[in-house]
């Protein structure tokens, strides 16, 4: 099935919040998950850590990474 319409020319920006990255063991394709608070991130790390590889990416505020491995870089 073909997608209709013109493709986006501008990359989508990330919403403000805390981000973690999930990978299945032995997989190369990650999934980003956003949470509203650091407490929610800690619970998600505990929940997904049993079966997946979890990496904390950092907090996004105003279109920039505030902490984590991408600190100081723009999100797009």
DSSP letter at 14 equals: P
Q: What is the pLDDT of residue 39?
A: 96
Tell me how far CA of residue 1 lies from CA of 4, 8, 66, in angstroms.
9, 18, 40
pLDDT in tens, 37-67: 999 999 999 999 999 999 999 999 998 999 9
pTM for this prediction? 0.82
- Lowest-confidence segment of 6-15, 20-29, 44-53 by average pLDDT: 6-15
Question: How far is residue 73 CA from its own chain's centroid?
Answer: 14
Identify which of 53, 65, 73 has the alpha carbon closest to the alpha carbon of residue 17.
Answer: 65
CA distance 26 to 35: 25
């Amino acid at each position: 099935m073909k997608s209709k319409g013109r493709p986006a020319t501008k990359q989508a920006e990330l919403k403000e919040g805390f981000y973690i990255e999930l990978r299945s063991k032995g997989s190369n394709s990650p999934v980003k998950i956003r949470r509203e608070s650091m407490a929610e991130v800690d619970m998600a790390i505990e929940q997904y850590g049993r079966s997946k590889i979890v990496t904390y990416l950092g907090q996004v505020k105003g279109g920039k990474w505030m902490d984590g491995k991408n600190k100081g870089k723009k999100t797009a």
